[in-house]
A and B are shown apart, each in its own frame.
Chain A
Amino acid sequence: MSFLNFFMRNRSAPVARERLQVLLAHERALSGRQDLAAVLQQEILAVIARHIAIDRDKVVVKLDRGEQVSTLEIDIEMPEQALARD
């Protein structure tokens, strides 16, 4: 561990620089558009709720911002009857 740290010590600055560049690129793009992910989630849920009764507790939202690609993952557990034919 300390052997690894010996090398890491000199290399952590580029990691910091890269992390900040990715983060700030997103934050600058989003300024003015408040909480885009939250807005998307709200509207997607509203559309689904129009057709199916969904439990807000069964909704899992995950975000991963990457340099090239970001993913917004919305995982909704459907009630059993939701897709059953009438």
Chain B
Amino acid sequence: MSKVMVVTSGKGGVGKTTSSASLGAALAQAGQTVVVVDFDVGLRNLDLVMGAERRVVFDLVNVVQGDAKLPQALIRDKRIETLSLLPASQTRDKDALTEEGVGRVIDELREKFDWIICDSPAGIEKGATLAMRFADLAVVVANPEVSSVRDSDRIIGMLDSKTRRAELGEKLEKHLLLTRYDPARAARGEMMKVEDVLEILAIPLLGIVVESPDVLTASNLGCPIPLQNPGSAPARAYAEAARRLMGETIAVTTPAERRGFISRLFGRKAAVA
């Protein structure tokens, strides 16, 4: 039974595309077949983050409009064969997508993949509503920062009203993925803590991805972090999140402050947030 999962946030720049690619890679590493679909028509970037920018021929708009067959537009990842990408068009705008056409493509993808990850554009316009329209579950990506949390709340409201599942009165699971979390700043009271965000948004926590230079490195290299640097803290967070999505029960631990070289030398305990 395949699952359609939208990765959304409302606000831009919080890590939707990075998280879509990373969750996709982590699920693929766990043995699932995965396609990540870029819904950001006109401003595609998933291809770049996944290192496939030189290989795009056809895209989601071509398939929706019937100019290309789905297999012609799918790009298989060169590093892990159970992972594929369906890119967005760069030269069109969001009006090129229709609900009926997107529904048809998603149905076709359901036959081929265990997971269909819809990488939503920022905002609450057509691109974002179409990305969430056919979702079975949603990952809301948020940073511990006021505008991101506010926009997440707005998006949660839309998930509960604008999706097909919501309209049919069916349950749509929603999960919070907290990214760019800095445990040291949270401990000093300079940043909202995990509990603060959870209390406000009141949806279950899928994972915490700490602020880390490793994320930029992976993006620079065009390789999702679970493939590029599996031992890093963000990669482990995404791998655990993937296992939770697959139904495993793993407690989410609040990441400890990163221990510096000196404190490791002297064996001092790192502060735990």
Which residues of A come within 8 Å of B, CB atoms?
1-2, 5, 8-9, 12-13, 15-16, 19-20, 22-23, 27, 30-31, 34-35, 37-38, 41-42, 56-57, 59-66, 70, 72
Could you jot down 15 A-B contacts, CB within 8 Å? A1-B230, A1-B231, A5-B214, A12-B217, A19-B48, A23-B53, A30-B91, A38-B57, A38-B67, A56-B69, A57-B69, A61-B57, A61-B58, A63-B56, A72-B57
Give the shortest distance, in Å, between B32 (CB) and chain A (any CB).
Answer: 23
CA distance A60 to B68 in the complex (A): 11
Flag whether B54 is at the interface (Cβ < 8 A).
yes
With a 10 A CB-CB cut-off, give which of A30, A34, A38 has the most chain B CB atoms.
A38
Give the shortest distance, in Å, between B67 (CB) and chain A (any CB).
Answer: 6
> Nearest 4 CB-CB pairs, A to B?
A16-B220, A12-B220, A65-B54, A63-B57
Q: Among B68, B220, B232, which residue has its beta carbon within 8 angstroms of that of A15?
A: B220
Contact A13–B220 (Cβ < 8 Å): yes
Q: Which residue of B lies closest to A39 (CB)?
A: B67
Q: Which residues of B contact A34 (CB under 8 A)?
A: 91-92
CA distance A59 to B72 in the complex (A): 8
Number of A-B contacts (CB under 8 A): 72
Q: Which residue of B lies closest to A56 (CB)?
A: B69
Q: Which residues of B contact A30 (CB under 8 A)?
A: 91
**Number of residues from B at the complex interface, CB < 8 A:** 30
CA distance A30 to B89 in the complex (A): 13
Those of B232-248 within 8 Å (CB) of chain A: 232
Contact A19–B57 (Cβ < 8 Å): no
Q: Which residues of A contact B54 (CB under 8 A)?
A: 22-23, 63-66, 70
Contact B58–A16 (Cβ < 8 Å): no
CA distance A20 to B231 in the complex (A): 27
CA distance A23 to B47 in the complex (A): 11
Contact A38–B58 (Cβ < 8 Å): yes
Contact B53–A1 (Cβ < 8 Å): no
Contact B221–A12 (Cβ < 8 Å): yes
Contact A1–B229 (Cβ < 8 Å): yes
Give the shortest distance, in Å, between A49 (CB) and chain B (any CB).
Answer: 15
Q: Which residues of B contact A9 (CB under 8 A)?
A: 213-214, 217
Flag whether B204 is at the interface (Cβ < 8 A).
no
With a 10 A CB-CB cut-off, give which of A16, A59, A72 has the most chain B CB atoms.
A16
Contact A64–B55 (Cβ < 8 Å): yes
Give the shortest distance, in Å, between A56 (CB) and chain B (any CB).
Answer: 6
Q: Which residues of B contact A37 (CB under 8 A)?
A: 57-58
Those of B200-235 within 8 Å (CB) of chain A: 213-214, 216-217, 219-222, 229-232
Give the shortest distance, in Å, between A5 (CB) and chain B (any CB).
Answer: 6
Q: Which residues of A contact B71 (CB under 8 A)?
A: 57
With a 10 A CB-CB cut-off, give which of A42, A57, A61 has the most chain B CB atoms.
A61
Q: Among A23, A38, A59, which residue has its beta carbon within 8 angstroms of that of B62?
A: A38
Q: Among A19, A42, A59, which residue has its beta carbon within 8 angstroms of that of B53?
A: A19
Give the shortest distance, in Å, between B47 (CB) and chain A (any CB).
Answer: 9
Q: Which residue of B lies closest to A61 (CB)?
A: B57
Known: A1-B230, A16-B220. 8 other contacts (CB 8 A): A1-B229, A2-B231, A5-B214, A5-B232, A15-B220, A15-B222, A38-B67, A42-B67
